[in-house]
Copies of this chain bind each other. A is one copy, B any other.
Amino acid sequence: MTAADSRAVVDLLGVLAYAELTAFDRLAEDARLAPTLEGRAALARMAAAEMGHHDRLAARLRQLGADPAVAMAPFVPALDGFHEGTRPRTWLEGLVKAYVGDGLAADFYREIAGFLPEPDRSLILEVLADTGHAEFAVREVRTALRSQRALAGRLALWGRRLVGEAISQSQAVIAEREGLAQLIMEGTGDLTGIARLVDRITAAHTERMRTLGLKP
């Protein structure tokens, strides 16, 4: 691995470590919006699982000789910006954000991880594995939509806003980190490769919106 490649690995582990920390934060915050104690405990449990992922990424960063706080720092503005710009006002908006937003981010990171050598590729795929959140969110949202069909339009709009914010923030992240941009360019091969990557991510997003019962 060249020095540029290993910087890209540290970048990717760093952005993911911070993403897990913010996921923890956000799930903990959303847990307080839960209408029942069961829902609150379920979300708090998922938040705890995200911290487990964070710890594994931080441990790997230390193993590579990187300070996790230093590796995370460059990504704080973009990720905080995304969450500030998409703060759920209701329990259901929080669930849609968790399912649609995290799904989108996970797909993006998975694509990049595919360009990395082991053991980082497997580590990243493992920490991106769903913590039961997806199934929970789908069930709650679909149940709510059955009794309040009028919510569908508003939640679909919310889903589209999440995508817009996510795209603009990931562009900001890539623009800032040369190593990451290069990794994606080399990994995809050419512009056609990048277009195919974007197509795959978009298709998976459309599928998730449909699963929720929302118009993509």
Contacts and interface: CB of A to CB of B under 8 A. Distances in A.
Contacts of A44: 21, 24-25, 51, 54
Nearest to A67: B38
A148 B24 CA distance: 32
A76 to B, nearest CB: 8
Interface residues of A, number: 28
Number of copies: 2
A67 to B, nearest CB: 9
Given A51-B48, A52-B48, A41 B21 contact: yes
A56 interface: no
Given A41-B58, A73-B37, A48 B25 contact: no
A40 interface: yes
Contacts of A160: none
A16 to B, nearest CB: 13
A28 interface: yes
B45 A55 contact: yes
Contacts of A58: 41
Nearest to A55: B45
Nearest to A31: B25
Interface string A24-44: 110011011000111011001
Nearest to A24: B44
A72 interface: yes
A68 interface: yes
A195 interface: no
Nearest to A29: B28
A50 to B, nearest CB: 8
A184 interface: no
Interface of A: 18, 21, 24-25, 28-29, 31-32, 36-38, 40-41, 44-45, 47-49, 51-52, 54-55, 58, 68-69, 72-73, 76
